[in-house]
Structure 1
Amino acid sequence: MRISTVTVYEQSMSSMNRQQGEFLKVGQQIASGRRVVNPSDDPQAASQAVQVSQSLAITEQYTDARVSARNALSQEESILNGVSDAIASAKTLIVQAASDTLSDEDRVSVASELRGIYETLIGQANATDGNGRYLFGGYQDDSAPFVRSGTGNVIYVADNNSREVRIDASRLMPVADNGIEVFQSVTASAGYVAEADSANTGSVTFKGPNVVDETDPGYGGAFDITFSVVSGTATYSINGGAPQPYASGQALSFGGLTMILEGEPADGDRITVDLAQNMNTDLFATFEKALSILEQPASTDSEKAARANTLNTVMREFDNSLDNVLTVRASVGARLNELDVVDSVAANRTLNYQQELSDLVDLDYVEAIAEYSLRQVGLQAAQQAFVDIKSLSLFDRL
């Protein structure tokens, strides 16, 4: 069988091109550090690598979301710290104002200091983050959540939702509590609050109420203490029940509660006792109530009793508001701790994805260098063979 010179040339060129292509392919792998440079290099590994890369990108997006959530929660925690300090300072002033040694002018001075705390608190309630978004406005975070009404009272005008961020595939975390939850709520364990009717004309003051028996059948209900004075004899009834004789300094027991009443009532005077969540839960309304009573002079026994009762109620409401703020702050701290845990889990997940991606597409340099050397030798052999074959000619033998 005769082999033509063209055939020899074509076969030699094909062999050299194939060897050169394989040699360049290995060189490209070494240069890029990847075993799978093109999908055709390993279609199955390339397909799996795309899926792993997508999972890795989603994990990184959640990592960025957690950074945003941590910043928001840290800002809220800082504001809540200031709010709790403000309430604690207000409580100190109320204790000072309740002292019988203070004059009306002294109480006006206390009210002036209390108003400063009040204004500071409003500013904290309308605090913004670094991007101008109001922290406590829910999803209506483009305008101040607390504004003054026409009567001067502070009202909440945002929504009652809490802004949330998805920090992981299965976790949607609140990153900002709305103003109602922080400034206009109390905890479920807040207990009872008593408040004297603003129309009372007698001098009865109260202390309490204090819980003595939560298993009492009447515990959890509301109580209305009404006084009646007929021919100089004072009696009281609870929720319209049978009248009972009243004596100043006596302790009243009802519904698992106890209260101490002092002073002389007037006919029709009333004191309401109910669970804190059914009474005033608005921190700003508590401030307004305290300021109003402190800025008014009290000369009669009735006015002094009204002031004492109001300050008693205000102190209990401040206590409940402080407990609520501290509870919200604890919740913020728990969420910050949860972010740390999720970060740790996500970091391990990221490492696993990176390792899986590396196993699929990254290059084994030891194997690649050995392959590179082998392909280099193959290419050189093909080139040398072509040179040797090209030199074969009968004319060289003449």
Structure 2
Amino acid sequence: MRISTAQIFNRSADNITSTSNSLYEIQQQLSTGKRILKPSDDPLASAQILKLTKEVEKTEQYQDNIDISRRRLSLEETTLDAVNDATVRVKELAIQANSGAVSDTDRALIATELDELEKQLFGLLNTKDVQGEYLFSGYKGFDAAYSYDGATDKYIFNGDEGRRSIQIGPDSKMASTDSGFEIFENVEGVLTISQQTGNQASHFSEQLITDNVAFQAFNDTRGPAVISFGNVGGVGNNPRYSVEDANGDPVFSGDPPVQLSNIEYLPGDVIEFEGASLIIDAPKVNGPVVINTEDQRTNILNMVHELSSALKNISTESDPEGNEKLNSAVSRALLQMESIQEKNIETRGSIGGRINTMDAQQDVNTEFLLHTKDARSSFQDLDYNEAISQFTLQETALNAAYGSFAKIQNLSLFNYIN
């Protein structure tokens, strides 16, 4: 077989090129630390690497979601803690204002502090998170949770009932927000007496609940109360009244208890029973007056606002009924604060539980990331010891190819022609 000079040159060039390419590829692997530089290097391993990379990216997003949610919930918890502290102070001031040793002037000063607490609470309930969204507005994150309506002299909730959930694991979602409606609006209500309606209704000039606990207990077990009027031998033809419960049984009042049956009623007389104090204007004779009630709810802002207004306007010095009115206003405020504080504690407990759950899920995600990255590394990462050995081998082969080619290219008869 004859080997031409062209064959020798072509074969040598191919060997040098092939060895150079192999050396370059190993050099790229060493510089990147990756065993697979393109899918064609190992199609099966490349598919596994893509799948595992997708899982890593998803899990890292779950970890970011947990960090974001934890910061938001921690801010909410801190805010609710400040709200609770303010509520405790309001409670202290309410009890202080209801003391017999406090004058009207002193109560006005207490009301001034309540006004400052009202402003503080208004700011807390309109707290924004780091993204500039209102914390308690539900889905309406860019609308202030609360605003003051001068026409009704009330604080209005402007948000909705939405709670944003965020993915923290493959099959796990967590509420990362709480609506102000659930925390501040949807609290247990306090009983109030409903005003009579209709042309034949008897109207109250005064309707106080002086003992909310007693009145609530009566309505839960025997209510509603019914006051019946009639002209039964009254002096000067004055009407007489009887008070019965919903079953028709008589109601007693006073200490010692007196049955409220066939009692003469003079204009302006106060009917008192089971924590209620009523004055009925022009009672309709032979017509029952049903003392209907409603479960009235209010948020903390309106509660503080109403209490402050009561302390400013009720006079225990010039109004004979001032003490009863003051006691009624304070008693109502204290009951409302109990409901508000209970809801606050319940929400903070829920936040703590969610943060603990996220911490546990974060640990799970961390373990999953570790194993997934380890699996991906087995397909993707370079074995440097093996690669360096291969690099040295290819480098030696390339040097040998260059050296042998230098020798072979001089093997020509023309070198011997003089």
TM-score, normalised to structure 2, is: 0.79
- CA drift at 1:391: 3.6
Partner amino acid for 1:360?
A: F
Q: Which moved more, 1:320-329 or 1:225-234?
A: 225-234
Question: What corresponds to 2:26 in structure 1?
Answer: 26
Equivalent residues of 1:165, 1:175 under 8 A apart = yes
**Local SS of the residue matching 2:297:** coil
- CA 369–211 in structure 1, closer or farther in 2 if over 3 Å, else same: farther
1:248 to 247, 254, 261: 254
SS at match of 1:244: coil
In structure 2, the partner of 1:182 is 183
Q: Structure 2 vs 1, CA of residues 226 and 264 (structure 1 numbering), >3 Å: closer, same or farther?
A: same
Give the 5 Å matches for 1:119-138.
119-138=119-138
1:279 matched to 2:296: yes
Report the CA distance between 1:390 and its aligned residue.
3.0
Quote the offset at 1:234 in angstroms: 7.1
Describe the SS at the equivalent of 1:129.
coil
| 2: CA distance, partners of 1:323 / 1:397 | 110
Say if 1:234 and 1:101 are closer, same or farther in 2 by CA, change over 3 A: farther
Structural mapping, 1:146-295, within 5 Å:
146-149=146-149, 150-186=151-187, 193-195=190-192, 199=204, 201=206, 205-206=210-211, 208-209=213-214, 223-227=223-227, 235-238=242-245, 240-249=246-255, 261=274, 278-295=295-312
The residue number in structure 2 matching 1:308 is 327
Distance 1:373 1:98 in 2: 93
**CA, structure 1 residues 197+15, in 2 after alignment: closer, same or farther (shift >3 Å)?**
closer
Deviation at 1:379, TM superposition (A): 2.2
Q: Distance in 1 between matches of 2:174 and 2:25?
A: 49
Per-residue CA deviation, residues 290-342 of structure 1 (Å, 9 max, x unaligned), is 22322221444544323212321221110110110111122122222222222
In the TM superposition, what is the alpha-carbon distance from 1:220 to its structure 2 partner?
6.8
- The residue aligned with 1:340 is 359
Q: Is the 8 A contact 1:228 1:266 kept in 2?
A: no
Q: Name the stretch that deviates more: 374-383 or 121-130.
A: 374-383
Change over 3 Å in CA distance of 1:166–1:344 after alignment to 2: same
Does 2:39 align with 1:39?
yes
Find the aligned partners of 2:86 and 2:180 in 1 and give their Cα distance: 16
Alpha-carbon distance between aligned partners in 2 of 1:222 and 1:166, rounded to the nearest angstrom = 50
Partner secondary structure for residue 18 of structure 1:
helix
Q: Which amino acid aligns with 1:317?
A: Q
Paired position in structure 2 for 1:255: none
Q: Measured at CA, do residues 203 and 60 of structure 1 come closer, stay the same or move farther in structure 2, by a change above 3 Å?
A: closer
Contact 1:66 1:167 in 2 (8 A): yes
Deviates more, 1:30-39 or 1:60-69: 60-69
- Give CA-to-partner distance per residue, 1:244-297, whole Å, 9 cap, x none: 14131479xxxxxxxx947976568987677xxx43242233223322322221
User: Which amino acid in structure 1 is aligned with residue 399 of structure 2?
Assistant: Q
Alignment partners' CA distance in 1, 2:164 and 2:275: 48
* Partner deviation per Cα, 1:108-156 (whole Å, 9 max, x = no partner): 2222222221121111111112333211111212231211112221011
Post-superposition shift, 1:79? 1.0
The number of residues matched between the two structures is 377
Query: C-alpha distance in 2, partners of 1:146/1:203?
Result: 29
Q: For the Cα contact (< 8 Å) 1:229–1:266, is it kept in 2? A: no
Percent of pairs with identical residues: 26
Bigger shift: 364-373 or 100-109?
100-109
For residues 396 and 364 of structure 1, do their structure 2 counterparts lie closer, same or farther at Cα, with a shift above 3 Å needed?
same
Corresponding residue number in structure 2 for 1:99: 99
Secondary structure of 2:167's aligned partner = strand
Structure 1 residues 18 and 177 mapped into 2: Cα distance closer, same or farther (>3 Å)? same
Query: Once the 2 structures are TM-superposed, how far is the Cα of residue 51 of structure 1 from its aligned partner?
Result: 2.1
CA contact (8 A) 1:248 1:264 kept: no
Contact map agreement 2:214 2:275 (CA 8 A) in 1: no
1:297 match: 315
User: Cα RMSD between the aligned structures?
Assistant: 3.3
Structure 2 alignment gaps of length 5 or more: 196-203, 258-272, 284-288
CA contact (8 A) 2:133 2:141 kept: yes
- How far is 1:386 from its partner? 2.6
Contact 1:248 1:261 in 2 (8 A): no
Gaps of 5+ in 1: 213-217, 252-259
Counterpart Cα distance in 1 of 2:414 and 2:341: 110
2-side partners of 1:202 and 1:166: how far apart? 52
CA contact (8 A) 2:155 2:302 kept: yes
